[in-house]
Structure 1
Amino acid sequence: MDVRAAKPPLTPALTPVMGADEVNAYLMEVYPQLNTDYTEYRAVEVWPGGCRVRLTAGERHLRPGGTVSGPALFTLADIGGYVCALSHIGRKALAVTTNLNINFMRKAQAGDIDGVCRILKLGKALMVFDVAIVAGEAQEMVAHATGTYSIPPARK
């Protein structure tokens, strides 16, 4: 499966309420520490039921041997879930990760690394998603993550 073209969501009835630029601006407002002094993690694209996030991995993301570190890839997966949630439920900064599992498959070199995210289920209280993390010229999958976000209840 070519993950670069993997946009069709499993739940096609979902409609984004925010685009990538709106989500990035909102993240700068409510979560500025994510990219303090840097802009390496960002939303690139949003579509019904999914999104693409990107890490521009540089020297500070590398572990010995020139491999992008696991924590940097884990953060990309988590940001992917957050962007999926925000782009589909709106400005609810208190949506939080309740679970995130990741499998590392091959090493990733510095450069652009994308997380192609899909919402598997969006309910009133929880959102379940997965992320294919791809890197390199061939866009090989370097990791795969699944997770759950808790959605804050509507205020009365």
Structure 2
Amino acid sequence: MPLQMTAAELQNFVGEVFPQVKDDFVIEELEEMRVKVRMVIGEQHLRPGGTVSGPSMFALADVSVYLAVMAMIGPKALAVTTNSSLDFMRKPAAGVDLIAECRLLKLGKVLAVGDVLLFSEGMAAPVARAAMTYSIPPR
């Protein structure tokens, strides 16, 4: 199945349906079944000690799978997360953006399954890994 949306269309879509976080996420790369997303880290994403919080890391993983699904099926704002698992593997670097590398493992008619590796910019090893399942609204 070819891409149904470009990176620019996806970025505009996020601004329309999630204006409260539109400046937090930047699509850096997009191809069939894959997306690379940057989370621009600000004070609102930090926990005590200056590192990125777990909820912020979850948000990046979740948004990445959502964007990968939207890119493949087109703008269906009502797709929702139905399952999630997040492994925190190491402390993110302080004060740098996070990068998500997401790939869809399955894209069916009603469910999509994605795998995401999260990296602190400049670090080779991932800081977290997420598995997400999305429910796709009827087409």
Could you state the TM-score of these two structures normalised by the residue count of structure 1? 0.84
3-state SS of the aligned residue for 2:101?
A: strand
1:136 deviates by 3.2
Task: State the identity as a percent.
Answer: 46
Equivalent residue, structure 2, for 1:20: 7
RMSD over aligned Cα, in angstroms? 1.2
Equivalent residue, structure 2, for 1:75: 59
Equivalent residue, structure 2, for 1:120: 105
1:33 deviates by 2.3
C-alpha distance in structure 2 between counterparts of 1:66 and 1:50, whole Å: 30
Equivalent residue, structure 2, for 1:5: none
Deviations 1:45-90 (A, max 9, x none): 2111110111111222111111100000000000001101100000
Greater CA deviation, 109-118 or 131-140? Answer: 131-140
Aligned pairs for 1:38-53 (under 5 A) are 39-53=23-37
Q: Any gaps of 5 or more consecutive residues in structure 2?
A: none
C-alpha distance in structure 2 between counterparts of 1:135 and 1:144, whole Å: 12
C-alpha distance in structure 2 between counterparts of 1:107 and 1:126, whole Å: 31
C-alpha distance in structure 2 between counterparts of 1:33 and 1:60, whole Å: 13
Q: Any gaps of 5 or more consecutive residues in structure 1?
A: 1-13
Equivalent residue, structure 2, for 1:95: 79
1:149 aligns with 2:134: yes
C-alpha distance in structure 1 between counterparts of 2:79 and 2:130, whole Å: 18
The question of whether the paired residues in 2 share the 8 Å contact of 1:56 and 1:110 is answered with no
3-state SS of the aligned residue for 1:91?
A: coil
C-alpha distance in structure 2 between counterparts of 1:60 and 1:28, whole Å: 19
Letter of the structure 2 residue corresponding to residue 148 of structure 1: T
The question of whether the paired residues in 1 share the 8 Å contact of 2:99 and 2:121 is answered with no
C-alpha distance in structure 1 between counterparts of 2:131 and 2:33, whole Å: 15
Deviations 1:72-114 (A, max 9, x none): 0000000001101100000111111111110001111222211
Following TM superposition, the consecutive aligned residue runs of length 4 or more in structure 1 with deviations greater than 3 angstroms are none
The question of whether the paired residues in 1 share the 8 Å contact of 2:40 and 2:98 is answered with yes
Aligned residues: 138
Judged with a 3 Å threshold, the aligned counterparts in structure 2 of structure 1 residues 53 and 136 are, in CA distance, closer, same or farther, namely closer
1:137 aligns with 2:122: yes
C-alpha distance in structure 2 between counterparts of 1:86 and 1:42, whole Å: 15
